[in-house]
């Protein structure tokens, strides 16, 4: 299992961590942001295909910011899968 850490930009969350094993997401955690909603995202994505999760979350907007914590997670996933 490979651990990843990402510093999001333009959102309330200050850090996103997650693991990817065999293309599946595990242990998605956010530091900061909307605690309950972000915990729910982590629970919903447990065991999900990382590529599909990134595709689903990409482009989600929060209050006209042009991004969101979910969108930042998608970017983090894309970056992790490139490396």
SS (H, E, C) 24-76: EEEEEEEEECCHHHHHHHHHHHCCCEHHHHHHHHCCCCCCCCCCCHHHHHHHH
pLDDT at 38: 97
In a 3-state reduction of DSSP, which class is residue 8? Answer: coil
pLDDT at 7: 98
pLDDT at 80 over 90: yes
pLDDT at 25: 98
Neighbouring C-beta atoms of residue 20, cutoff 10 Å? 17
pLDDT at 59: 97
Neighbouring C-beta atoms of residue 32, cutoff 10 Å? 14
Q: Domains of the chain by range and CATH?
A: 2-82 (3.30.390)
């Amino acid at each position: 299992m490979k651990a990843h850490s990402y510093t999001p930009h333009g959102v309330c969350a200050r850090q996103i961590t997650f693991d990817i094993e065999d293309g599946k997401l595990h242990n998605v955690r956010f530091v900061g942001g909307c605690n309950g909603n972000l915990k729910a995202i982590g629970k919903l994505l447990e065991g999900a295909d990382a590529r599909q999760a990134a595709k689903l979350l990409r482009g989600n907007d929060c209050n006209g910011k042009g991004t969101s914590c979910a969108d930042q997670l998608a970017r983090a996933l894309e970056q992790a899968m490139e490396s």
